[in-house]
C-alpha cells in the first residue's frame, strides 16, 4: 500500500509539473503582449519597457518560469498585471463563488433531472415522457448564453423576480445570496439536468423491467414504494457517477454564466485574464485548478484501492 501511495504521489507531481509547463508556454504562445494589453490605447515605448521590466516580461522564458515556480512554491502567486492586486487574494475571493454556484446548480439539476427522469420512465409513451424528453432536448441544445439572456429579459426585466446581476456573500446575507444565485444556478444546471434526466430515465427503464421489481409488485407493494425504494434507488448509482463526470463541464459552463450575471467567480476571472493577457492570473488559476483536479483524482484512486484490493496489488507489482 505504501509503495502504491508513493507511486501515485510521484505520478501526481509529474502531472502537475507538466501542466505548469504547458500553461506557462501556452499563454506565452498566444498572440498579444501583456504590456500592450495593459497599455491599451495609451502606449509609448518607454512605458511599455517599464511595464515589461516591472513584471519580468523582458527576461528569458526560463528565468520567468523559474521565478513563477519558486514563488508559487512559497505560496506567492504574484500580482495581477492589470490591477496590481495579489493573485492569491483574487483567487481566494473568486473560488467560493464558483463553488457555491456549482453546488447549487448540481442540487437544482438533480432535483429537476431525477424528477423528470422518473416521470418519463414511469409514464413511458405518454405526454409526460414527451414533455420530459423535449425539456431534456432544450436543456442540452440551447446555449447557456442565450438561456441566461432570456431569463434576464423575462424573469428579471419583465417580472422582476430575480436580480439581473450582482452578488452578495453568503455570510453577509444568506437570503440575498440565494436570491442572486438561484437564476444563474438554474441556467448553469440546465445542461446537467438534461443529462441526469436521460440517465435516470434509461436506468429506471432497465430497473423497472428487472425481476426484483416484478417480485415487489407481485408482493402487492404500492407503486410509490416500488418506484421510490426499489427502482430509483438502484438507478441512482449510475446517476451519481454521471454527476461526478459532469463536474468539469459544469465548471466550464460557469465561465459563461458568471459573465452573463456579473458574478465574481473563478470562471469570469479566468476568461477576463486571458483576454487581458494577465499572465500571473492565468498561470495561477490553471495551477490551482490543475492541483485541485490532480488532488481529487489521487484521492479517488486511493479510495478505489481501499475498496478494491486488486488495484492496490496491481499498483505494487
144 exposure class (CB count in 10 Å sphere: 0-12, 13-18, 19+): buried
Among 23, 27, 51, 188, interactor with other proteins by CB under 8 A: 51
C-alpha dist (Å) from residue 68 to 57, 88, 211: 12, 13, 60
The yes or no reply on residue 122 touching other proteins (CB under 8 A) is: yes
Total residues at interface with other proteins (CB under 8 A): 78
Task: Write the interaction track for other proteins spanning residues 91-110; mark x where CB under 8 A is met and - where it is not.
Answer: --xx----------------
C-alpha span between 70 and 119 (Å, rounded): 55
The yes or no reply on residue 262 touching other proteins (CB under 8 A) is: yes
Task: Write the interaction track for other proteins spanning residues 2-41; mark x where CB under 8 A is met and - where it is not.
Answer: ----------------------------xxxx--xxxxxx
Among 269, 282, 286, 290, interactor with other proteins by CB under 8 A: 269
Q: Between residue 207 and residue 246, which ones bind other proteins under the rule CB under 8 A? A: 216, 219, 221-225, 228-229
The yes or no reply on residue 287 touching other proteins (CB under 8 A) is: no
Among 6, 58, 63, 166, interactor with other proteins by CB under 8 A: 166
The dihedral over CA atoms of 242, 244, 248, 252, expressed in degrees to the nearest 10, equals 80
The yes or no reply on residue 123 touching other proteins (CB under 8 A) is: yes
C-alpha span between 119 and 223 (Å, rounded): 13
Q: Per CB under 8 A, which region of 98-106, 161-169, 283-291, 296-304 contacts other proteins?
A: 161-169
Amino acid at each position: 500500500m505504501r509503495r502504491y501511495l508513493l507511486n501515485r504521489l510521484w505520478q501526481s507531481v509529474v502531472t502537475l509539473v507538466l501542466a505548469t509547463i504547458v500553461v506557462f508556454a501556452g499563454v506565452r504562445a498566444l498572440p498579444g503582449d501583456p504590456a500592450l494589453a495593459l497599455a491599451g490605447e495609451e502606449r509609448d515605448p518607454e512605458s511599455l519597457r517599464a511595464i515589461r521590466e516591472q513584471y519580468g516580461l523582458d527576461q528569458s522564458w526560463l528565468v520567468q518560469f523559474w521565478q513563477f515556480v519558486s514563488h508559487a512554491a512559497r505560496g506567492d502567486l504574484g500580482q495581477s498585471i492589470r490591477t496590481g492586486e495579489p493573485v492569491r487574494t483574487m483567487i481566494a475571493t473568486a473560488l467560493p463563488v464558483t463553488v457555491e454556484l456549482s453546488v447549487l446548480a448540481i442540487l437544482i439539476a438533480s432535483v429537476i433531472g431525477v424528477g423528470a427522469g422518473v416521470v418519463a420512465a414511469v409514464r413511458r409513451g405518454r405526454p409526460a415522457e414527451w414533455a420530459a424528453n423535449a425539456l431534456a432536448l432544450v436543456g442540452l441544445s440551447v446555449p447557456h448564453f442565450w438561456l441566461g439572456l432570456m431569463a434576464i429579459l423575462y424573469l428579471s426585466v419583465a417580472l422582476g423576480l430575480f436580480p439581473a446581476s450582482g452578488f452578495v456573500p453568503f455570510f453577509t446575507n444568506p437570503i440575498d445570496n440565494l436570491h442572486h444565485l438561484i437564476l444563474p444556478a438554474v441556467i448553469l444546471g440546465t445542461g446537467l439536468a438534461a443529462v441526469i434526466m436521460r440517465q435516470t430515465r434509461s436506468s429506471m427503464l432497465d430497473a423497472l423491467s428487472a425481476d426484483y421489481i416484478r417480485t415487489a409488485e407481485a408482493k402487492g407493494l404500492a407503486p410509490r414504494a416500488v418506484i421510490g425504494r426499489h427502482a430509483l434507488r438502484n438507478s441512482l448509482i449510475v446517476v451519481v457517477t454521471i454527476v461526478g463526470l459532469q463536474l468539469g463541464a459544469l465548471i466550464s459552463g460557469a465561465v459563461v454564466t458568471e459573465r452573463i450575471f456579473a458574478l465574481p467567480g473563478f470562471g469570469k476571472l479566468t476568461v477576463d485574464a486571458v483576454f487581458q493577457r494577465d499572465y500571473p492570473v492565468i498561470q495561477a488559476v490553471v495551477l490551482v485548478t490543475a492541483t485541485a483536479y490532480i488532488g481529487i483524482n489521487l484521492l479517488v484512486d486511493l479510495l478505489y484501492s481501499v475498496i478494491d484490493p486488486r488495484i492496490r496489488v496491481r499498483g505494487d507489482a
